[in-house]
Structure 1
Amino acid sequence: MKNFTRLLIASALFTGSTAFAQTKNAVVDNIVKEGTENSQLEKLAHELLDGIGPRLVGTPQFDQAGKWALDKYKGWGITARQEKWGDWRGWERGTSHIDMVYPRIHSIEGTQLAWSPGMKKAVTAETIILPDVADSVAFEKWLPSVKGKFVMISMNQPTGRPDDNWKEFGLSGSIDKMKEARTAQTAAWRKRISNTGFNNKTLPVALEKAGAAGIIGNYWSAGFGVDKIFGAYTKTIPTVDIALEDYGLLYRLTENGEKPRITIQTESKERGPVPTFNIIGEIKGTEKPNEYVMLSAHFDSWDGGTGATDNGTGTLTMMEAMRILKKAYPHPKRTILVGHWDSEEQGLNGSRAFVEDHPEIVANLQALFNQDNGTGRVVNIGGQGFAKAGDFISRWLEAVPDTIRHQIKTSFPGSPGGGGSDFASFVAVGAPGFSLGSNSWSYGNYTWHTNRDTYDKIVFDDVRSNAILTAILVYMASEDPAKMPRDKAELPVNTRTGKPGTWPEQVKANRHGGFD
């Protein structure tokens, strides 16, 4: 009889585990089917990136994008809300016109930097190059000469070709010569800035106070036709990034005493302090509603392009994964949340604020999956220093189709990320946040914070793969009977300091920014 009882129990356990495996496979199959056959990514990308555009914190486009996301989630039957966490300097980009008018007519490619002050009328003036002075005293004597002129504050690059182009076509002697020249020029220009007594942030302000008509520079991204576009420090005169090709033209003309003149008119509006907010979407859990699995991507961007790969593709991945989960897994065991964060670009402020404001979620977080490094397929996942992360993530990855899983390299337990993207806000407080690291697609040179970060750079097959992967990982994390432990692994010795590695410390959110 005892043997018969054991047999019945074993049979029941086998039947139950088989039923679970069949259910699991059915849900995974439905996730893959929905993500492959009914993908909404192209439509979402067009609406967000082409229709609304860049989403700089404090701009009307960010507000518009937030309303758009809420409408999308509502249409999918997903509860979503705005969560205000602070305010930021409001600013609205207007039109820009830049032309060389002497010694010949030439339209200049350039972009006013974010938060550059607006101009009431066009200004035509001569260009002048930041001089190579001996020290700050000599610079102070030179300063009056900037009055009424556009001051060039960036080095003139020795080449506009990326290094891989040189490597493919150049002779070894030519490549070495170019690199030596660039290294020497870079060091010399760094010393030129230092000798003024100012730095890259304070120098434009000093030139503004001295009466300059405007600041022009070039932040080349080491790719054909690509510049990085960040923020301005001036308050009354324009700060403009000139494309490398045109910056070099103006620099050479100025250096050779030909006194080129350019006309600049840039328009923008100050909006005062405006609310900053995160978008939080939710699919309520049925068995463990007070435990959470999170999807994560920052919603804001810089605005030189449209923020397509930083972080439009991360945003689209998480929205599409939520849409798929609502259809294929509408009644999760744990509550599924998605966080679309604001002001990541200024220091992870939105996610840091969420961590501060929601200790109850942080304390009961099963796992968070964040994507934020371009359009490429996910190729690496690390354990972020959590000792048991490998046991869980490896188990969850087993459910992912091999066509997606085979490309992913894992490293466990790994080391905790101290910054870089929003997962780090959670890791800093000991909560299991993980980065879904993507294949490059020349992200660093061509789209990260650049004027070329636009819809056409998206590789939709890779983003589709990422949405399916994320949905499956979230499903598996929600279903897992066990809760991921938060034990921290012993960290390796820091090679710079020679001391044992330390866990990153929590940093408070800047809840009133942009007014410095």
Structure 2
Amino acid sequence: MNKKLLFSALFLCASASAFAQDRKVIDNIVKEVNENSQLEKLAHELLDVVGPRLVGSPQMKQANDWAVKKYSDWGISAKNEKWGEWAGWERGITHIDLISPRVRTLEGTQLAWSPSTNGKAINAEAIILPEITDSVSFQKWLPNVKGKIVLISMNQLSGRPEKNWEEFATKDLFEKFKKEKAEAAKTWAASLAKTGLTAKTLPVALENAGAVAVVINNWSQGFGVDKIFGANTTKVPTLDLSVEDYGLVYRLALNGDKPKLKIEADSKKLGAVPTFNTIAEIKGTQKPNEYVMLSAHFDSWDGASGATDNGSGTILMMEAMRILKKIYPNPKRTILVGHWGSEEQGLNGSRAFVEDHPEIVGNLQALFNQDNGTGRVVNIGGQGFAKSKDYITRWLAAVPDTIKNQIKTSFPGTPGAGGSDFASFVAAGALGYSLSSTSWDYGTYTWHTNRDSYDKLVFDEIRSNVILAAIMVYMASEDPEKTSTEKAKDLPVNERTGKPSTWPVQTKSNRKGGL
């Protein structure tokens, strides 16, 4: 046999052996997911027992410590890595009651970082922000808020979602409703602008003028859902009422019925507290200084339990790591997972990691991030990297058809400038990919809402995502090639500007939030 034929035979033999190894590992990953899933247990412990994970809260640190313990139990090295400090705050019990002209317990809660009522109940009349003609008229009205609870959001024309109107109303009635709703929103926005203040500065002006509480309704345009973000007041509580109860109190005030509310809102300010990323590692055996990463933010808003934003991504990545450690304990490259803090305030944990670990970022084979809900992955883009198609296509080929065939890819794609933590790596020129999921009405019903709880998770969809993520990591780790970070020369046109997309600028992490 000549040398050429010998080389070909050896190459084919090696290829066949590698294929057999790949097939065995992949089959075992699928088997472990389908027969020994830990997702429900992880979700219960994280979402029901620990609960929401607001940056700076005791629950965030509890979650960090829980994850480190879990990884340790699985034989995986893990640590909490400090990246900054944040204004510490702990949520307490909120009670909001209508006590006149009738009695009703209202559905609502204080916003994150809201001041406390300090163990005492506020009993006061609720008034509404009137229609403002100019800043002078607003200043003349402002003394009226002293000793009052002030409602500062628009009262919705209907607490029914547009989908509900569209399904049941006649076409003419639906169009009439949409027009009236748009006009009401425009009028309200114009009135607010005439105060000379913004939605952020108005509550501060009201508390400085003597208001005893500020009440909003940040309706999420669906049945029973409100967005729960942070308070702007520093002396009096800010609370969100459901669209139904806000409307009730608003109409009573509008019609001169002088509604009185009783409010108890317990919370604690904890000063500056350290903030952490949780990092776990399975050390590589052949190329330990090259890295494949799993990624999901750990923090959440705290209107509910942070289940789909981003408990689902968190347990996905933890389960993938558990399975990889069991099935593929000696990877070719080092496998890392990053559970990031303070994503919700601007990707701060992942941006800090990128700043603090150039040795990892510069030797990153690929990072896979999942954030947008509980659904199966349906989109993967190339993030503007010229050679992404070569790698992603090759790695996806190993994924079962039932999962792979539902995924739409786009290459070279547009580099992510924000939205989730993969963008922190893309901005630094590293291959960060988003595993983007189908909606399950994420934007309306669970994203940052008071309904983002365990029961909204669709575990079979998450299991599919675990299979996908674990196989992609395995294939990236085993790939004989080091991936290329070459940027595409012709990026897609930005739909908003009509101009070619530009590479995002790396942004510094905010390491002292709310202080």
Q: Distance in 2 between matches of 1:77 and 1:124?
A: 55
**How many angstroms does 1:234 deviate by?**
0.6
Residue 101 of structure 1 aligns to a residue in which SS? strand
Q: Distance in 2 between matches of 1:88 and 1:148?
A: 32
Identity of aligned residues (%): 67
Deviation track 1:115-150 (CA, whole Å, cap 9, x = no partner) reads 000112101111111111211111111100000111
Query: 1:509 is matched with which residue?
Result: 509
Mapping for residues 15-414 of structure 1, pairs under 5 Å: 15-120=13-118, 121-414=120-413
Q: Distance in 1 between matches of 2:362 and 2:423?
A: 15
Structure 2 counterpart of 1:39, which letter? S
Residue 386 of structure 1 aligns to a residue in which SS? coil
**How many angstroms does 1:162 deviate by?**
1.2
| Conserved? CA contact 2:413–2:492, under 8 Å | no
The unaligned stretches of length 5 or more in structure 2 are none
Q: Distance in 2 between matches of 1:350 and 1:309?
A: 19
Deviation track 1:53-105 (CA, whole Å, cap 9, x = no partner) reads 00000000001111100000000000001110110000000011110001100
Query: 1:435 is matched with which residue?
Result: 434
**How many angstroms does 1:169 deviate by?**
1.3
Residue 189 of structure 2 aligns to a residue in which SS? helix
Structure 1 counterpart of 2:40, which letter? E
Residue 384 of structure 1 aligns to a residue in which SS? coil
**How many angstroms does 1:153 deviate by?**
0.4
Q: Distance in 2 between matches of 1:363 and 1:450?
A: 37
**How many angstroms does 1:496 deviate by?**
4.2
Q: Distance in 2 between matches of 1:353 and 1:338?
A: 15
Q: Distance in 2 between matches of 1:437 and 1:471?
A: 16
Q: Distance in 1 between matches of 2:341 and 2:249?
A: 37
- Bigger CA drift: 132-141 or 206-215? 132-141
Deviation track 1:25-79 (CA, whole Å, cap 9, x = no partner) reads 0000011111111000000000000001000000000011111000000000000
Q: Distance in 2 between matches of 1:335 and 1:405?
A: 25
**How many angstroms does 1:223 deviate by?**
0.6
Q: Distance in 1 between matches of 2:7 and 2:202?
A: 77
Q: Distance in 1 between matches of 2:320 and 2:27?
A: 14
Q: Distance in 2 between matches of 1:15 and 1:495?
A: 49
Residue 336 of structure 2 aligns to a residue in which SS? strand
| Conserved? CA contact 2:415–2:503, under 8 Å | yes
Aligned residue pairs total 513
Residue 127 of structure 1 aligns to a residue in which SS? strand
- Bigger CA drift: 126-135 or 75-84? 126-135
Q: Distance in 2 between matches of 1:123 and 1:205?
A: 18
Structure 1 counterpart of 2:62, which letter? Q
Q: Distance in 1 between matches of 2:232 and 2:356?
A: 31
Structure 1 counterpart of 2:390, which letter? D
Structure 2 counterpart of 1:146, which letter? V
**How many angstroms does 1:498 deviate by?**
4.3
Residue 264 of structure 1 aligns to a residue in which SS? strand
Q: Distance in 2 between matches of 1:454 and 1:291?
A: 37
Q: Distance in 1 between matches of 2:432 and 2:499?
A: 25
The unaligned stretches of length 5 or more in structure 1 are none
Deviation track 1:191-243 (CA, whole Å, cap 9, x = no partner) reads 11101110011000000000001000100001101000000011111100000
Q: CA RMSD in A?
A: 0.9
Structure 2 counterpart of 1:14, which letter? L
Q: Distance in 2 between matches of 1:7 and 1:488?
A: 39
Q: TM-score, normalised by structure 1?
A: 0.98
Deviation track 1:312-369 (CA, whole Å, cap 9, x = no partner) reads 0000000000000001110000000000000000000000000000000000000000
**How many angstroms does 1:483 deviate by?**
1.2
Deviation track 1:373-397 (CA, whole Å, cap 9, x = no partner) reads 0000000100000011011000000
**How many angstroms does 1:481 deviate by?**
0.6
**How many angstroms does 1:501 deviate by?**
2.1
